[in-house]
Structure 1
Amino acid sequence: MRACKTLLAVLFIHAGISSSPSYAISAKILETDICVYGGTSAGVIAAYTAKKMGKKVLLIEPGRHLGGMSSGGLGYTDIGNKFVVTGLAKDFYRRIGSYYGKFEQWIFEPKVAESIFNDYVKAANLEVLFDNQLIKVKKKGNRINEITLEHSKEPEATIVRAKVFIDCTYEGDLMAGAGVSYIVGRESNSQYHETINGVQLMEGHQLPDSISPYVIPGNPGSGLLWGISKQKLNANGTGDKKVQAYNFRITLTNVPENRIPVTLPENYDPRKYELLLRIKERDPWKSLKDVFIWSLMPNGKTDINNKGGFSTDMIGMNWDYPEAGYEKRAKIWKEHEDYTKGFLYFIGNDPRIPLHIRTEMKQWGYPKDEYTDNNHWTPQLYVREARRMLGELVMTQHHCEGKELVSDGVGMAAYTMDSHNCDRLIADGMVKNEGNVEEGGFGPYPVSYRAIIPRQKEAVNLLVPVCLSASHIAYGSIRMEPVFMVLAQSSAVAACLAIDENAAVQQVDVKKIQTILLNDPLADGSTAEVIVDNEHNDLIDIQGEWEVKKRGGYGPSYLVHDKKNGSPGIVRFTPRIVKNGTYRIYTYFPKQKNSSPKAYFTIHDGAGSIEKSVDLSAVQIVGQTSGEWVSLGSYHLSAGKKSYVEVSTRNAGGVITADAVLFVPEK
């Protein structure tokens, strides 16, 4: 049965968000409970959750693919701390792991990610509208009644009426069309009493000193090199409308039978890369990794990201994108594509590039088996930041650093407060990048429910888990794909509760959201896994001299013991098992210097004990992860607190860690 009721109507549609003129056409009307706009990773998870909770759901994607950046080349997952990845977001990375024969996996090929997002859609029997862009939002008071969509090829428009809407786009178009307050750019430090917002001239991803910005070095009359703005450098902490740079996360391959050569692209202009040549005159080439973060993916592929002062980021060329109409956005998008493809071609072919670098570049090409309907190029621009809602609460630097703590958390974040450069300009007569910030050193922190809902006076039936309410610098920490998925699942749960209770999203009881997420994290009624962390004081027993490490493990901390410096030690983890059954048990092994090559465990299943040794020297920790889960085997466990897992320092040949133990029910 179709999730939505279809009718026909003729109405007058105003362009609203698009830049095309008003026109009169026929339109079909779709009615649903929950409308999710944006088929990003967040959009798929939100729609899947709501459908599994028994609601009629319509998922709308302006493009042709699902998954956003997670299937668009960002295969080297930015995490911060796995502790924050919960529910269906965790399930996604488990499914990735299953594909590659592992428990979890955080680096992956784009086509694998997209296939998994498509699997969610199929499993929930979701209705998806592709190639549909929002052109109008209709409200009555503070309630969104309907939205109007325009198909890229069909003349008939579509009107969608829903009880609750969820905006999962990177741009926040539905939010903006609904008249919800938002900001683009950077706040001044003074606005929220922050220290690293606004203009920041730092050393990260910076150009070397003494690089002239002029076509003829030292001659202002010759004009500026391409990519250098005429903007004035304002004082640190000054707010403005500048947006951190976008780029493409590039998928290439060096597997000959799967490789398509990088050939001369459209609109190629080698003058765009003149600044790079000047940089490399000062700092000669060693390898491609001089100017790229060249992360390797499975099966001979890459996730290539920006690195250093001149790379794949098209700095200062995206400021108009967040609020632009579709035609202008397409133009900006194409300029980014031309720049990036041209950059790859330039490095592989320009005679001014050293031969050994050109040779290295030509070992790589576009993969035949990726993005097969888009000329093997990602269909997703990395829109790192666009609009940010001004909601019921604004997350700030103080929340990231733990100086302010919210009690209505519906997800967590942990990544460094990160901003790519926003401008490339002249400072003291030399060219400099401005806007890069990379400030971390804090643990996981909760993201408020009030940050994903608008002010009640503006919209009572809208949730915004992607363009959420956060300052520029706090958004830089929150804006990670796993976190977007977590917040999207929370949004879907809230939307369902709002419908069930006939309430505004602002009136939903957050404790109910938290309880549902805890008890049914996969939205399918299955038995939830149980985790015991070293910070669960009522579930662990510590014997011996263990040192608390605040960063680098699973969650806020982990324990380490160096037998040479203390008496023998034991840490016992006792789970609350809800249901009798077979559970696979895992222990988290963090990156740790001087680690013992082996660790010894005792697993008590409620009836007897089993001794287990684990070869830690064989554990490979890859990607941006703090560690890996290591299997201790499968055991039948009884309900209650009858079972436990102990890690001890006996026979230790180095440092022993005790962090977290996971109990996963086997189906």
Structure 2
Amino acid sequence: MKIKLFSILVLCIAYLLPLGSYGFTAPPREVDICVYGGTSAGVIAAYTAKQLHKTVLLVSPEKHLGGLTSGGLGYTDIGNKYAITGLSRDFYRRIGAHYGKLEQWIFEPHVAEAIFQQYIKAASVEVLYGYTISKAVKQNGYITEITVNGPAAQVVKAKMFIDCSYEGDLMAKAGISYTIGREANAQYQETYNGVQLLDKHQFPDGVDPYKIPGKPESGLLWGISSETLAAQGSGDKKVQAYNFRICLSNRPENRIPITKPEDYDPSRYELLIRLLNATKPEALKPNLKIDLMPNGKTDINNYGAFSTDMIGMNYNYPEADPATRKKIVREHELYTKGLLYFIGHDERIPAHLRKEMLQWGYPKDEYTDNGHWSPQLYIREARRMIGAYVMTQANCEGREKVNDAVGMAAYTMDSHNCQRIVVNGMVKNEGDVQKGGFGPYPVSYRSIIPKPEDAKNVLVPVCLSASHIAYGSIRMEPVFMVLAQSAATAAAVSIDQRVPVQEADVQKVQTMLRTNPLADNSPAEILVDDDDAQHVTVKGDWKKMVHGCYGPTMLTDDSKGAVPKSVRFSPAIERAGKYEVFTYVPRLPGLDGNAHVKVFDGSTVKEVEITAASIKVEGQTSGEWVSLGTYQLKAGSSAYVEIGNHKTEGIVAADAVLFVPR
């Protein structure tokens, strides 16, 4: 009897301990859609698929959800908010609700993660945390199952797979074509791809690269490569630099001092001393981009010639195994923590810069299970699929357009530096490109699916098919969420139509995204933009601007009412009901702080004054939606919002009007 009880006890203990310790494999799981990657895109894809009545499993190699959006990038990069639709926009609306606004694009990490958890809980999405893919089985062009390793080996069978990882690991295991690094300009007839020695985030002339100045035989300072500069525009396999988006606090009650990290080596930062001696900055800004967040926090990004980017130290990351990647992430962490400590404590740093640095510390209420440091390295670029269609510079600049759009992008074509080398006896960074000047542009459905010969049931909305420089524009967290919703919608359509993703009805996908933007059949909001000729009536001579606006353009007038002018926005109301009405106020120098707007609900006209106090842009990265009140609107086109130039003392802008069902 004692032997039998002991045997039962041993079996119970074995069951409770991590199964991976014993090499066990859990019983296979079978779902309609398997989403790989716990990034912001992964959460939105899984939520969308579940809302579309599919069985879903989200496999997350990470222990936290949200990727970089919850990992420090709270000062959202986007360019033009018009490009952000559906659940991606809903995410920033939920952020806004937390801070008491319609939407907000600047936020604390823990707030973002809590909202991603809202999506998971609302749709009852099952998540496997801490599992990485080790194998994919393909038959007749279809991925039939993948194996992921975590506490136990787990086989997952699915009709559709969506790779939402930053690294494209599922895509790679499935044998889907991909590339790493920079194409030569000649490959896609581009001008900003490949090797680029430009002047942004660059060392000034004369900064010596050698350990003993003027003596090459002494060797190069840490972080400088001995490679020679290749021809401008030539391709290579170098990867743009990674870094951490750093959340610090200046509130004494929430601040942990920045202490010396392990393996601290001040010689790593010798180049910074030489740079400061050459530039003599008055503040940290030329070397740290410190964007302020709510509650005394920061989102610090790389800035200048020597900063938080660990240039040239990530080339092996895209193809590395989990252990090697973990080592690379740790090296980036120690470099960054060492940099912060160095700036605050090394006596060669000017006193005013040390004083500015020492006002910051690690926040007590962020990343509480990871030493108050983000667990998510900024993987700006790793693998990129070579899919059914490759997005290129021509797409970004509007010279080539697609008719199968499942999202838009709007950011500058942006690459961080790829290497630090010696040019003409001076240290120089190479690879930084920042080229904009274009409006929102469509992203092709074919760019998020493989070529049919590679796989027929996989979608890749993060490591999508784009050239290096086009990916630099598309690779923004809000866009990843947009494309993830589109990928999940297309996966559901493919399942329902019993066709490979290459044959899915794209028009049906587009219609579903347009008519059911939140994937829950809630009423869609109504946007009327100034370039909507069918619903906008313009009286007078308004100037058309293409920068700083919501959407492609905005209309402005600076006549201060000398000649009466107006822009009327008339929505087509399909469903009668209460709507809160907003007008978009851009960030524009000289904008009138007391604009007057007329709102007609179909029965009466109400004049609303927009005061400077009502425009709270501190939570935004561009303009702000300002509420004009809530109105009962009838179906039809009788209601309108009219922006005029009467009673104005400065510039008045007519950009866009939004009607949100309440």
Report the alpha carbon displacement of residue 166 of structure 1 after superposing the two structures with TM. Answer: 0.3
The answer to whether residue 343 in structure 2 is matched with residue 347 in structure 1 is yes
Q: Which one-letter code corresponds to 1:143 in the other structure?
A: Y
Q: Which residue of 1 is the match for residue 222 of structure 2?
A: 226
1:361 equivalent in alignment to 2:357: yes
The question of 1:143 aligning with 2:139 is answered no
**Residue equivalent to 1:112:** 111
1:489 aligns with 2:488: no
Give the Å deviation of 1:624.
6.4
1:68 alignment partner, SS class = coil
Residue 146 (structure 1) shift? 0.5
Whether 1:320 aligns to 2:319 is no
393-402 vs 355-364, which deviates more?
355-364
Correspondence list, 1:282-361, <5 A = 282-361=278-357
Aligned residue in 1 for 2:12: none
Asked whether the 8 Å contact 1:81–1:625 carries over to 2, the reply is no
Distance 1:317-1:545 versus aligned 2 partners, 3 A rule: same
Encode CA deviations 1:359-386: one digit per residue, 9 max, x unaligned.
2222211111100110110010000000
C-alpha deviation, 1:564, in angstroms: 5.0
564 and 644 in structure 1: CA distance in 2 versus 1, 3 angstrom threshold? closer
Deviation string, structure 1 residues 413-454 (Cα, Å, up to 9, x no partner): 110000000000011111100000000000000000000000
Cα drift, residue 623 of structure 1? 6.4
**CA separation in 2, counterparts of 1:256 and 1:564?**
47
- Contact in 2 for aligned 1:48/1:120 (Cα 8 Å): yes
Cα distance in 2 for residues equivalent to 1:69 and 1:624: 18
Which residue number corresponds to residue 275 of structure 2? 279
2 CA distance for matches of 1:351 and 1:656? Answer: 51
2:450 alignment counterpart: 454
- List aligned pairs for 1:45-64, cutoff 5 A: 45-64=44-63
Q: Within 2, Cα distance between the matches of 1:382 and 1:317?
A: 13
Counterpart position of 1:17: none
**1:617, CA displacement in angstroms?**
5.6
Supply the AA of the counterpart residue of 1:67. Answer: G
1:413 corresponds to: 409
| 1:478 aligned onto 2:480 | no
Q: Map Cα deviations across residues 88-145 of structure 1 (whole Å, 9 max, x no partner).
A: 1111001101111111111000000000001110111110000101111111121001
Find out whether 1:445 has 2:479 as its counterpart. Answer: no
C-alpha distance after superposition, 1:469-490 (max 9, x if no partner): 0000000000000000000000
Contact 1:248 1:382 in 2 (8 A): yes
- Matches for 1:189-268 after TM superposition, within 5 Å: 189-268=185-264
Aligned to 1:65: 64
1:399 shift after superposition: 0.3
**1:87 and 2:83 matched:** no
Structure 2 vs 1, CA of residues 624 and 242 (structure 1 numbering), >3 Å: closer, same or farther? farther
Deviates more, 1:482-491 or 1:570-579: 570-579
2:532 counterpart of 1:536:
yes
Number of matched residues?
Answer: 641
The offset of 1:651, in angstroms, is: 1.3
**1:554 and 1:626 in contact (8 A); partners too:** no
Measure how far apart 1:287 and its partner are: 2.1
Q: Name the counterpart of 2:398.
A: 402
Partner of 2:549: 553
The one-letter code of the counterpart of 2:175 is G
Q: Give the TM-score taking structure 1 as reference length.
A: 0.95
> Residue type of the partner of 2:501?
V
**Secondary structure of 2:68's match?**
helix
Which residue does 1:132 correspond to in 2? 131
Cα shift readout 1:189-231 (whole Å, capped 9, x = no counterpart): 0000000100000000001111111100111111110000111
Per-residue CA deviation, residues 528-551 of structure 1 (Å, 9 max, x unaligned), is 000000111111111111111112
One-letter identity of the residue aligned with 1:178: A
Q: Which amino acid aligns with 2:113?
A: E
Aligned-pair CA distance for 1:625: 3.1
Measured in 1, the distance between the counterparts of 2:283 and 2:569 equals 47
Q: Does 94-103 or 614-623 show the bigger shift? A: 614-623
Where 1:630 maps in the other structure, the secondary structure is strand
Q: Distance in 2 between matches of 1:117 and 1:564?
A: 46
- 1:348 to partner: Cα distance: 1.3
Q: Does 1:594 align with 2:584?
A: no
Is contact 1:598-1:617 (8 Å) kept? no
How far residue 71 of structure 1 moved from its aligned partner, in angstroms, is 0.2
Question: Following the alignment from structure 2 to structure 1, what is the Cα–Cα distance between the partners of residues 222 and 625?
Answer: 48
RMSD: 1.3
Structure 2 CA distance, aligned partners of 1:261 and 1:287?
20
Paired with 1:51 and 1:464, the residues of 2 have a C-alpha distance of: 18
Cα distance in 2 for residues equivalent to 1:24 and 1:610: 71
CA distance in 1 between partners of 2:195 and 2:309 (Å): 18
Match for 1:113: what amino acid? Answer: A
Q: Is the 2:560–2:649 contact (alpha carbons within 8 Å) kept by the matching residues of 1?
A: no
**Whole-angstrom CA distance in 1 between matches of 2:389 and 2:651:** 43
- Residue 468 of structure 1 corresponds to which residue in structure 2? 464
> Does the alignment pair 1:507 with 2:506?
no
8 Å Cα contact 2:561-2:648 kept in structure 1: no
Instruction: Judge conservation of contact 2:560–2:645 (CA < 8 Å) in 1.
Output: no
Matched AA of 2:608:
K
Structure 1: give runs of 5+ residues left out of the alignment.
Answer: 1-22
**Identity %, equivalent residues:** 61
SS in 1 for 2:306: coil
- Counting only pairs closer than 5 Å after superposition, residues 556-635 of structure 1 correspond to structure 2 as 556-564=552-560, 567-616=563-612, 618-622=614-618, 625-635=621-631
Counterpart secondary structure, 2:285: helix
How far does the alpha carbon of each residue in 1:592-614 deviate from its partner, in whole angstroms, 9 at most, with x for none? 22222222222111222222222
- Could you tell me the TM-score, scaled by structure 2's length? 0.95
Larger deviation: 160-169 or 344-353?
344-353
Consecutive unaligned residues of structure 2, counting only runs of 5 or more, are 1-21
Summarize the Cα distance change of 1:71–1:650 in structure 2 as closer, same or farther, 3 Å threshold: same
What does residue range 424-439 of structure 1 map to in structure 2 within 5 Å?
Answer: 424-439=420-435
